[in-house]
Amino acid sequence: MDQDDKLGPHQVIMNEWLECAPFEQLLGIKLISAENGNSVMTLPFLAQFANGGNLLHGGALVTLADTAAVMAIKSLLEPGSHFGTIHMDVDFIRPVIQGLITASCSAKQIEERLWDAFVVLRNDNGLDVMQMQAKFKVSRRSLQD
């Protein structure tokens, strides 16, 4: 297998509608709950997620927030629905230096194919570390098409 073969396209088969994808599993993200448009997920601050300043990399935080939003929306959609993030606003509130980060999300439908999500990330002390507001759009096609 040469390098080009490793670059995709890839087909990921998920066993459950509400489960973490391979990238999220690689980061150690855990789904705690997802129902009725709400979700709770966690991300551990592992050494390999540190940036040059010894803080949790912002990209890991954004990934956790985006994934929490996806799970909240999936809790309301039919299995096999296909959708993606079309916009996000992120506010970093305080740095993360250790611990487990918990994401709490609330999502709601605002138009036929458009969804809003609001996510708060908190540290072990219950302090907000990041907030994200995002919009998602549902495709007319399912994943099986």
CATH number (domain holding residue 136): 3.10.129.10
Residue 77 in domain = yes
Residue 76 located in a structural domain: yes
Q: Is residue 54 part of a domain?
A: yes
Pull the structure tokens for residue 74.
Answer: 């999936």
pLDDT for residue 1: 54
Decide if 3 is inside a domain: no
For residues 115-132, b (16+ Cβ closer than 10 Å) or e, as one string? bbbbbbbbbeeeeebbeb
Give the per-residue pLDDT at 144: 54
The torsion defined by the Cα of 20, 21, 22 and 26, in degrees rounded to 10, comes to: -40
- 98 occurs within a structural domain: yes
Q: Give the residue numbers spanning the domain of 122.
A: 8-142
14 falls within a domain: yes
Per-residue pLDDT of the chain (145 residues; tens, 9 = 90+): 567 778 888 888 888 999 999 999 999 999 999 999 999 999 999 999 999 999 999 999 999 999 999 999 999 999 989 999 999 999 999 999 999 999 999 999 999 999 999 999 999 999 999 999 999 999 987 655 4
- Cα three-residue angle 47-134-97, rounded to 5 degrees: 20
Q: How many domains does the chain have?
A: 1
Q: Please give the pLDDT value at position 14.
A: 85
Kindly state the tokens that stand for 76.
Answer: 């309301």
Alpha-carbon span 36 to 108, nearest angstrom:
9
